[in-house]
Structure 1
Amino acid sequence: MNIQQLEYLLAVDQHRHFARAAEACHVTQPTLSMMVQKLEEELGLKVFDRSRQPVCPTDAGESLIIQARQILLEVKRFEEIASTANNYIGGELRAGVIPTIAPYLLPLFIQSFVDKYPDVKLKISELITEQILLKLDKGELDVGILVPPENDKTIKEIHLYNEAFVVYTPREFEKEYLIAEDIDVNELLLLEEGHCFRSQIMKFCELRKQITNKVEYTSGSLETLRYLADKHLGITILPELATLHLTDEQLKNVKQFAEPKPVRKISLVTKRDFVKKRLVEVLSEEIKVNLPEKSKEVKEKLIVF
């Protein structure tokens, strides 16, 4: 039995397909299959039921895979201790970022991070919160950049910044600062189900009553919602970083909320037994350094989601 065989087990469990697992491990399928088979022969039992499609673990295999994941975690912890002692910052960091953060935050720090830490391979996936948390649980991601879930004692978070909500619409209002009641819910354009930003907006606007608008449009993209608002087809709410790239003309459509302003808390999230602590620390530092000054301001009157 060796570490490589355990890595192959986890790859097959993740992809539920020997060919795709081999591709992910950068080996041929016969090589991976042979290594898994040798391990099974050594153990005297089958880890995977190959008669089913997709391939799935046997009952005994489920327990072995859980233990293999723990063993590999300890191996990584061993390597991390050595890297820290040598003041070395390198290796692979797999990050998941939610779609309402990714296009606005990533361009702010990616290049400077790569320039500063050339030995770090940063692998980024754009995923919704539920998917990020699941992949953190399974060890398929190292860190998530998201709005942290409440009361989850299995995770550890590093707070990055609070991001204000803003209203986006060409429509004119009589007052400069808006409150939730100023927004007609029948004109509100929302993200589709699964996005935490949608849930936060619905909570803030108290969307409990029946919506009676003739056209109900939901999207997976904030940019689509903003474009529809530009065409006077509704009102949308954006996170503040989404306004950084707007033209002067588009900025006229941005309306601020009155205090206490609604904001969302953005954090780096890892599992509590995570080992690449130094990599996460430097990632956090680089993000914070490159945030707009407005995002670094400490505001007292806030409604945090």
Structure 2
Amino acid sequence: MTLNELKYIVAVAKEKHFRKASETCFVSQPTLSVAIKKLEDELDIKLFERRKQDVLVTPIGKQIISIAEEILERSKDIKQIAKESQGNLSTELKIGAIYTIAPYLLPKLIPSFHKLAPNIPLVIEENYTHVLADKLQSGELDIVILSLPFDEPNIETYSLYEESFSAIIPKDHPLAKSKKPINLQEIEDETILLLGIGHCFRDQVVEAFPNLMHMNYQSSRLQKTFEGSSLETIRYMVSSGAGISIFPCTSLSERDEELFSIKPLANPVPKRTVALAWRKTFSRMQALELFKQAIEDIEIPCTLS
């Protein structure tokens, strides 16, 4: 059994096709097929069922491929530990962040990190929490920035800061003139602009205001909920008078006050905790500590650490 053979079976499991797997491994298809057949003979099992159009992983194959993925990831760690022991901090760090955090944190974080670790390139990805979780588990990402709770096996988390939510209201709306915090009863007949399904921030807003969706259907007035693809879309819809929304405070700035009114929410004020997450087996602890320090070095308005 060799690392190459493990790499080949992982590739086939991912691509569900021998030819495509051979291309991703930069070997010929016969080379890959012979290596996998050799491994199956050695183990006296079938890892794959060969079909006309694709490949099906057998139940025992799934168990072995899961272990193979971990072995391959750990083999990379061995090389990285050796490099870092010699002061070579040059391997890229693959970072993921959810959509409602990335645009507001990363522009400050990236230069802060590069001051501490100028030789470590950052590869950045924005995505939904569930996608980032899958990529973190598979090793496609090293660290992700998201909001808690985040309960995943083999994952460590580190809380960075806590931020409250705020209401944003068109300037010509009667509530824009209110000097009191906004409560749910005051918006029950309003058009509510929320992020679409899949965004964890949407889930947190609905959890904080459990009657919000119910009110949308029960209101005696013509009332609906618009679901936007991004906070930026919703930001300009509120500015145009299309409705009101609830935003995390880090996504708002003084320039937004030219577009709409920003109002605090009544107690208990809903909040979220933003955190880092990484695999327990992640070996580049020096790079991880530098990343934590880079976040702690920047000023993040309206948050509590």
Q: Is the TM value for this pair above 0.5?
A: yes
For the superposition of Structure 1 and Structure 2, which TM-score range results when normalised by the shorter chain? Answer: 0.7 to 0.9
For residue 229 of structure 1, what is the aligned residue in structure 2? 238
- Report if the CA contact (8 A) 1:180-1:204 is conserved: no
- How many correspondences in the alignment? 292
Q: What is the TM-score with the length of structure 2 in the denominator?
A: 0.82
Q: Once the two structures are superposed, what CA deviation does each residue of 1:34-60 show, in whole Å capped at 9, x if it has no partner?
A: 442232132126544442545442344
Q: Of the two, which has the highest radius of gyration?
A: 2
Distance 1:59 1:33, change over 3 A: farther
Equivalent-residue separation in structure 2 for 1:53 and 1:144 (angstroms): 36
For residue 166 of structure 1, what is the aligned residue in structure 2? 166
For residue 126 of structure 1, what is the aligned residue in structure 2? 126
Aligned positions of 1:263-302 closer than 5 A? 263-295=271-303, 297-298=304-305
Equivalent-residue separation in structure 2 for 1:285 and 1:71 (angstroms): 30
Q: Secondary structure at the match of 1:211?
A: helix
For residue 203 of structure 1, what is the aligned residue in structure 2? 207
Aligned positions of 1:1-305 closer than 5 A? 1-17=1-17, 21=21, 27=26, 31=27, 33-43=29-39, 44=41, 47-51=47-51, 53-114=53-114, 116-149=116-149, 152=152, 154-170=154-170, 171=173, 172-184=176-188, 186-207=190-211, 209-212=214-217, 213-244=222-253, 246-250=255-259, 252-295=260-303, 297-298=304-305
- Report if the CA contact (8 A) 1:46-1:58 is conserved: yes
Equivalent-residue separation in structure 2 for 1:260 and 1:125 (angstroms): 33
Q: Secondary structure at the match of 1:95?
A: strand
- Report if the CA contact (8 A) 1:169-1:234 is conserved: yes
Distance 1:293 1:248, change over 3 A: closer
Name the % identity.
31
The CA deviation at 1:2 is 3.7
Equivalent-residue separation in structure 1 for 2:33 and 2:12 (angstroms): 12
Q: What is the TM-score with the length of structure 1 in the denominator?
A: 0.82
- Report if the CA contact (8 A) 2:194-2:227 is conserved: yes
Equivalent-residue separation in structure 1 for 2:8 and 2:295 (angstroms): 34
Tell which deviates more after alignment, 76-85 or 66-75: 76-85
Distance 1:293 1:175, change over 3 A: closer
Unpaired segments of 5 or more residues in structure 2?
A: none
The amino acid that maps onto 1:58 is T
Q: Once the two structures are superposed, what CA deviation does each residue of 1:241-281 show, in whole Å capped at 9, x if it has no partner?
A: 2113734512x521123454322101111222222322222
Q: Once the two structures are superposed, what CA deviation does each residue of 1:175-224 show, in whole Å capped at 9, x if it has no partner?
A: 24333443336421111111111111011112262413444311221111
Equivalent-residue separation in structure 1 for 2:29 and 2:117 (angstroms): 36
Distance 1:283 1:4, change over 3 A: farther
The amino acid that maps onto 2:214 is K
Tell which deviates more after alignment, 225-234 or 86-95: 86-95
Unpaired segments of 5 or more residues in structure 1?
A: 299-305
Distance 1:142 1:40, change over 3 A: same
